[in-house]
Amino acid sequence: VSNTPGPASAMARAAAAEAFSRRLGAAVRGLSGAWYNRHMAAADRAIRARLPLVDLVLEVRDARVPATSAFELLHRRSPEEPDVRLLVALNKADLADKSETEKWVAFMKQRGCSCIAVNSHSRGSINELLNAVRGRIREIKLGVSDCTGTVLLVGIPNVGKSAIINAMHQIGRIGAAEKGKLKHATVSSHPGETRDISGYKVASHPNIYVLDTPGVLSPIFANDESGPRLVLTGAIKDSLVEEYEIAQFLLTVLNLRTECREWENLNLDGDKSSFADAIPTRSCHTKRQYSSDHTQDFIVRAVRQALSETIASFQGDLGNENDLRRLVEIQFTHLQNAFRISAETIEDRNKCVAVKLLNLYRTGRLGHYTLDHVPDFRQEVAA
């Protein structure tokens, strides 16, 4: 049976992959109490109390899942509560599909919501965000430059709020009298690390203070696809779900994309004509190669090659759930070799593969993917 992509087979493949999503989604739904604890509930109440007191709300979302990572608290407010002035930042744009991010920004603007794509590790990108915040504050303050504006930074866990506020603070304080005296927010790769609401000055003329808040994730998801996508992008701690299940879901996502098939043409000798554009490298400097470091270019290249070869040689039907599961199992076996894993038990080997594979995906080393599709604005308006 051919697994060549086509209009008809695409629907069947998506249906087969949905089985993995449903299984992971069921596991995530049963764990809502594990992340929405008393600390998150208290943060929820504190944020709600501050919303009417600030000039602007800066909502940070993950550009890979712009809809799924929406801050639910802003969208389930009662009609009696006052409207908030909102600016949406699609962070981690460097990890998402650029063309899809541009579509999402345009879609948000069509809906009347200010939106900007952001890479918190890029000084230029943070400057654009800071200028957008300044512009909104000036609009709100009717152009008065000698004033003070307050911004509430909100979002679900692990979308990069603290990284953004630190970068804004570092750029905005240059030349200010307070230079070097204001503290930074604590940045962590683990979701749910920020516990308190803290204020940071990020600009002068007008003076702008940003309130950083803990990430709050609703215990109720908008749809069945939300849970798996939030786990995959790191908004929910891996420790709450088996990494092996998350990595299985990731492989079904990769197997449905055309990018994996293009990796087959990579030059394993590292020829720049094929490799430089295909794999984001860690550094322009030559480094010693260690097989235990899965982030090194030659390991990433082997991982990509293993995935492309298993897809190209697979004789089953990717539209069949059992065949798709068999392909994923084959890929795990090949990835053990690609990652140079020699654990004793199959469970340990699979877990090592899963942890390393998820890390490569979340750092953009396996390509840039947007998991949420842009809605059709015309159909939405008609509805």
Instruction: Annotate 339-370 with DSSP letters as a single string.
Output: TT---SSHHHHHHHHHHHHHHHHHTTTT----
Contact (Cβ atoms closer than 8 angstroms) between residue 296 and residue 249: no
The pLDDT score that the predictor gives to residue 318 is 85
Q: Kindly list the averaged pLDDT for each block of 10 residues, start to end, along the chain of length 383.
A: 51 79 83 79 91 94 97 76 84 97 96 95 95 93 82 95 91 57 46 58 87 89 87 92 93 86 56 40 49 84 94 89 93 96 89 96 94 76 45
The pLDDT score that the predictor gives to residue 280 is 52
Instruction: Name the segment(s) of the chain with CATH classification 3.40.50.300.
Output: 38-212
The pLDDT score that the predictor gives to residue 7 is 44
Distance CA 136, CA 168 (A): 15
What is the Cβ-side half-sphere exposure of residue 143, based on CA atoms within 13 angstroms? 0
The pLDDT score that the predictor gives to residue 167 is 93
The pLDDT score that the predictor gives to residue 271 is 39
Q: Tell me which of 3.40.630.20, 3.30.420.40, 1.25.40.10, 3.40.50.300 is the CATH number of domain 38-212.
A: 3.40.50.300
Contact (Cβ atoms closer than 8 angstroms) between residue 207 and residue 137: no
Residue 93 burial by Cβ neighbours in a 10 Å radius (0-12, 13-18, 19+): buried
The 10 Å CB-count burial string (b at 16+, else e) for 99-110 is ebbeebbebbee
pTM to 2 decimal places: 0.84
Of how many residues is the chain composed? 383
DSSP 375: P
